[in-house]
Structure 1
Amino acid sequence: MIRPRDPEESMVATEQEWLREYSLLALRVNRQVTESAGGTVLIYRGPQEWSEQVDGEEPIPAGRLADDADALLDESPFAPDRARYLAAQLTALRAVARRLAGEDLPLREYARECLGVSAEWLPEEAFQQAHDLLDAALPRGAGSLVERLHAWQATHTLPREQLARLPALVDRAVAETRRRTNEIVPLPADEVVRCKLVPGAHFRAAGDYEGGLRSTIHINTDLPFNLADLLYVVAHEGHPGHIAESMLKERLLVGEQGRLDQLVRFMLAPSFVISEGLGLHAESIVFPDDEAQAWLTENALAEQGIAGDGSDFAAIHRAQNILFGAWANAAFLAADGRPEAELAAYLSRWALLSDAEAGAALGSLRAGGMALYVLGYFHGWRLLDSWLDATDRTAGVRRLLTEQLLPADLEPTV
C-alpha cells in the first residue's frame, strides 16, 4: 500500500525537484558561455551527478534554456522572500540565455536584467573628484598625478626577486583579517587559507573557497605586487570578503537551512554585485581610518626597508574604488565596439592605469561575461557605501556575510 504524503512532505519534494532543475539550468547556461566565450561564470559546488549529466548531454539550444528559466519562474514553490531572491538569479540566467540565442540586449538593459542595478554611463566629474582625493593623499613631488601615483606604487612594490616571500606576507595578513572579522561574526578556528602564486591569470588576485574549511588566495605574478595594497587585496579576497562570505553562507544557509541553491552561484547575477561591493569595502570594514596603514608599516613595510612618505593609504584606496567607475565606462565602450586603443586610452586617462595595467584590464574585459561583471564593482561599492553609512555597521556586515540579499534590499527607502 502506498502511503499518501502530507502537504508539508509534498512541498519538500517539489522544492528539491525545482532546485535540481534550477541547478541543471545554471550548469547548461554556463556550459554555453564557456564554449562560446571561454571562462566560467558559475561557481558550482552542488551534486556531482548533476554536473556530470550536463557534461555528458548534447548541448541544449540557448532559446530553450530561456524557456526553461521562464518555466521555473512560473513554478516557484518557495515562500515569497526566498522566491524573490531566486527569481532574480533566474532572471539573470534567462537574460544570458537570450543573449546566447542571438538577442541583442543593450548593456544597460542587460545589466538591469542580470545584475539588478541601473548601470548608466558615469560622468567623469566623479573620477576627477577621485583624482583630487589622490592628489591630496599622495606624497608631494614633481610630475603629473599619474606619474606620482605610479612612483608611489613603485616605491611600495615587492621586488620580483622577492616574490617567494609573498605567501608568508599573505599568511600574516590573513591571520589579522580573520581575527578582526571574527569580532563581527564567529569564524571556525581551524579554517585554513593558503596563498598560491600563479602566472598568466586574467585577474590581479582571486579568493577561492574550496569547501569545508579550506580556501586559496591566488595572486597573479605577472603584475607587480604593491605591499601597500596587501590588506586591501587579502581582505577583499579573504576576510571579510569573498572567502568569508562563501564559507559562512554555505555553512549557515546550506548546512543549517538546506538552501541548496547557495551551492549554485551564477556570477552574472545580483548577488555578485553585493559580493564585489563587500570586497571593495572589506579593508575599511576591519581596518577603519588609518589602522591598515599602521598595521602594514609594522608588519610588512618596515622589514622591506620602505619608509613612511606621508601618503594616506585609506584615501588612496577609496579613490581607487571610485575609479572602478572608469572601468564600468570602459565596459560600455567595449559593448559599443570601440577599438582597444580607445579603451586603453580611456583607462589610462581616468583610471590612471599604466600600459601594463591597461593591457591586463582589456584582457579582463574580453573574458567571457566580464564586460558585464565589471559593472558590479563600482555599482556594488557605491550601493554599500551608502547603505553601510545608514545602518548599524557591524549588524550590516553580519547580514552581508550570512544572508541572501539583493541590491534592491539595500536601496534607501523613501
Structure 2
Amino acid sequence: MKRPLRIWAALVALLAGGCASHPVQPPPMTFDEIAEGYVRAVLAVGEHDPNEVDAYYGPAQWREQAHKEQRSLIALRNIITRLYQNAETAPADPKVPAALFELRRRNLKDLIAALDARVRMLQGWKPSFDDESLALYDIAAPHYKEDDFKPMLATLDKLLPPGPGSVSERYNRYTEQFAIPADRIEPVMKIATEAARARTLHWFKLPNGEHFDLELVHDQPWSAYNWYQGKAVSRIEINTDQPITISRAIELASHEGYPGHHVYNSLLEDQLLKGRHWQEFSIYALFSPQSFIAEGSADYGVDLAFPPAARHELTRKLFEAAGFDPDQAATYNAIVDAAQPAGAATLEAARRYRDGQATAEQTLQWLQTYSLATPSRAQQRLRFFDRYGAYIINYSYGKQVVAQAIDRSAGKDATEAERWRWFFTLLSTPRTPQSLLKDGLADQTEAPPAAAVPSTP
C-alpha cells in the first residue's frame, strides 16, 4: 500500500510548498491516483461531518490515517482543488472504451466539485435551496405551487370514504387501517423482500453471496436507511416510529433492497470497483450527485419491480399476511396511486422552509395539507429538512429524471425486458444527473466486465 501513501503525501506537499518562495508543484496525477486522492479527501471531510461518509469499504488504513491526521477544512479545500484540476486534464486510459472513460471523468469531476461545496458549507457558506441542490447534486428541482396539488386532493376526495376532516386526515385515517401490526412487520417485510428479490433476479444476476440484514429502529428523522457494508452486503434499518402500511412495506422492500439501494451499491462495487479497480467506488459520499442517481433509481425501481398487475398480486398476499381483507387491495392501491404527487409537495415544503419563505409552523401545515402527512410524520420530515437540507430533491425529482432517461433510451413503448436492461446500464456505469437530464442514457457503452451481467429471462 505504498503508492496510495505517496499520492496523499504529494497532495499534502502541495500545501506545505504553498507558503515557500519557490513552491514545488507535484507532478500530474494519473486518473487512478486522482480517484484514490478523492476517497482519502472524503474520509478526511468525514472527520468534520459524521453524515458525509455514507458507506466505505476500501482499505482500513486510509480511514485510520484520516482520523489520525485531522486535516483542517482549509487544507482540504486546497487538496480538493488540486484533484479537480488534475481530473480535467488527466489523460484517458487507453484500456477503457473512450465513451466509458469520459463517463468516469465527468462523474469524478462532479463528485470532487460536490465535496468542495460541502466543505464550503462546513466553513459557513449558506446557499439557497436551489444553489445547494446544484452544488451538491448537480441539479435543481422544479418549483411548485399550491395549485399543482389541488387536482390530487380533488381525486382523493372522490376516492376516499366520506367522513369528517380534511382530505389529508381522511387519507391517513383510511391508509392507517392497513398499518401492519407490530408483531407482523418482520414476516410481512420478509414476504415483500423475497418478492422484490425474485422480480430482480428474473432480469439480471447479482454478485454471489449478496444479502441484507433487516433491523427495526426508533427515533430517526428518516423512515428507512440502507447502510451498505461492502461485499454485496447491506444493513437495512426501518424506523417504526410511524405506522408502516402495506404500500410502504412494498416501497421499502424495493427502494432499500431490490432493485434499489442494495442492488445499486452491489453492482457499483462488483462492476466498477472490482471489475475496473476504480477506487472512487469504494466510498459513497452522501452529499454528492451519486445520491440523486441512488434515490431516483430506487424510487423508479419500485414501479419497475412491481408494475400494476404484479403489485396487485403482492398487495393481496401482504394483506393476508397482515390480517386484512385481500379483496380491498384494488381500492387501496388506487387511493395510494392517487397520492403520488405528495412527494413533490414535500420537496417544495423543504425549499420554502430552508429559504426562509415559510416558518416551521407554516411548513408543518403545508406538509399536512399537500404532502398528506400526519402531524407526527410532518414533524419527522421537518427534522429531516434540518439535518439533510436539499437532499429531499433526490427522491421524487430523481425518480422523474430517471424515468425520463430510460423512456428516452428504451422508448415509451419498450418491453419490460428492455426497461430492465437500460436500468442495469444506469446502475452499473458512472452517471451524473445533468447527463441523464440532457442525454438520457444515449452514451451507451459496453457492459463493464464482471460477474453480474444481465440475464436472459
TM-score (norm 1): 0.87
* 2:391 paired residue among 373, 382, 396: 373
Q: Supply the distance in 2 between the matched residues of 1:157 and 1:229 (Cα, whole angstroms).
A: 9
Q: Supply the distance in 1 between the matched residues of 2:384 and 2:403 (Cα, whole angstroms).
A: 25
* 1:111 paired residue among 133, 153, 156: 133
**Are 1:285 and 2:299 matched, yes or no?**
no
Residues 280 and 321 of structure 1 are in contact (CA less than 8 Å); yes or no, is this contact kept in structure 2? no
How far is the alpha carbon of 1:353 from its aligned partner?
0.5
Q: Deviations over 1:226-258 (max 9, x none)?
A: 123211111000000000110111011111111
Q: Supply the distance in 2 between the matched residues of 1:315 and 1:74 (Cα, whole angstroms).
A: 52
Q: Supply the distance in 2 between the matched residues of 1:381 and 1:171 (Cα, whole angstroms).
A: 25
* 2:124 paired residue among 102, 105, 117: 102
Residues 290 and 313 of structure 1 are in contact (CA less than 8 Å); yes or no, is this contact kept in structure 2? no
- The equivalences for 1:3-402 within 5 A come to 14-34=30-50, 39-61=51-73, 63-76=74-87, 77=90, 79=92, 80-135=102-157, 138-143=159-164, 144-159=166-181, 163-188=182-207, 190-298=209-317, 300-307=318-325, 308-309=327-328, 311-312=330-331, 314-337=333-356, 338-367=358-387, 370-392=388-410, 393-402=419-428
How far is the alpha carbon of 1:147 from its aligned partner?
2.5
- Distance verdict in 2 for CA 1:164–1:289, change over 3 Å: same
Q: Supply the distance in 1 between the matched residues of 2:220 and 2:360 (Cα, whole angstroms).
A: 20
- Distance verdict in 2 for CA 1:243–1:313, change over 3 Å: farther
How far is the alpha carbon of 1:198 from its aligned partner?
1.0
Residues 149 and 370 of structure 2 are in contact (CA less than 8 Å); yes or no, is this contact kept in structure 1? yes
Residues 295 and 398 of structure 2 are in contact (CA less than 8 Å); yes or no, is this contact kept in structure 1? yes
Q: Deviations over 1:258-286 (max 9, x none)?
A: 11111111111112112111121222101
- Give the structure 2 partner of residue 404 of structure 1: 430
Q: Supply the distance in 1 between the matched residues of 2:208 and 2:28 (Cα, whole angstroms).
A: 34
Q: Supply the distance in 2 between the matched residues of 1:228 and 1:333 (Cα, whole angstroms).
A: 28
How far is the alpha carbon of 1:12 from its aligned partner?
12
- Distance verdict in 2 for CA 1:264–1:214, change over 3 Å: closer
SS in 1 for 2:80: helix
SS in 1 for 2:227: strand
Q: Supply the AA of the counterpart residue of 2:134.
A: R
Q: Supply the distance in 1 between the matched residues of 2:171 and 2:36 (Cα, whole angstroms).
A: 50
Q: Supply the distance in 2 between the matched residues of 1:150 and 1:297 (Cα, whole angstroms).
A: 20
Q: Supply the distance in 1 between the matched residues of 2:398 and 2:213 (Cα, whole angstroms).
A: 27
Q: Supply the distance in 2 between the matched residues of 1:176 and 1:189 (Cα, whole angstroms).
A: 19
How far is the alpha carbon of 1:320 from its aligned partner?
4.6
Where structure 2 has 5 or more consecutive residues not aligned to the other structure, the ranges are: 1-26, 93-101, 411-418, 441-457
Q: Deviations over 1:204-225 (max 9, x none)?
A: 1122322224322211121111
SS in 1 for 2:206: coil
Residues 388 and 396 of structure 1 are in contact (CA less than 8 Å); yes or no, is this contact kept in structure 2? yes
How far is the alpha carbon of 1:360 from its aligned partner?
0.8
| 271-280 or 23-32, which deviates more | 23-32
Q: Which runs of 4+ in 1 moved over 4 A?
A: 310-321
Residues 184 and 398 of structure 1 are in contact (CA less than 8 Å); yes or no, is this contact kept in structure 2? no
Q: Supply the distance in 1 between the matched residues of 2:75 and 2:128 (Cα, whole angstroms).
A: 21
How far is the alpha carbon of 1:388 from its aligned partner?
2.9
How far is the alpha carbon of 1:25 from its aligned partner?
1.3
| 81-90 or 181-190, which deviates more | 181-190
- Distance verdict in 2 for CA 1:88–1:213, change over 3 Å: closer
Q: Supply the distance in 2 between the matched residues of 1:319 and 1:59 (Cα, whole angstroms).
A: 50
Q: Supply the distance in 2 between the matched residues of 1:213 and 1:384 (Cα, whole angstroms).
A: 23
Q: Supply the distance in 1 between the matched residues of 2:429 and 2:153 (Cα, whole angstroms).
A: 35
| 203-212 or 307-316, which deviates more | 307-316
- Give the structure 1 partner of residue 15 of structure 2: none
Q: Supply the distance in 2 between the matched residues of 1:214 and 1:230 (Cα, whole angstroms).
A: 20
Q: Supply the distance in 2 between the matched residues of 1:193 and 1:85 (Cα, whole angstroms).
A: 27
Q: Supply the distance in 2 between the matched residues of 1:112 and 1:13 (Cα, whole angstroms).
A: 27
How far is the alpha carbon of 1:20 from its aligned partner?
2.5
SS in 2 for 1:224: coil
- Distance verdict in 2 for CA 1:214–1:60, change over 3 Å: same
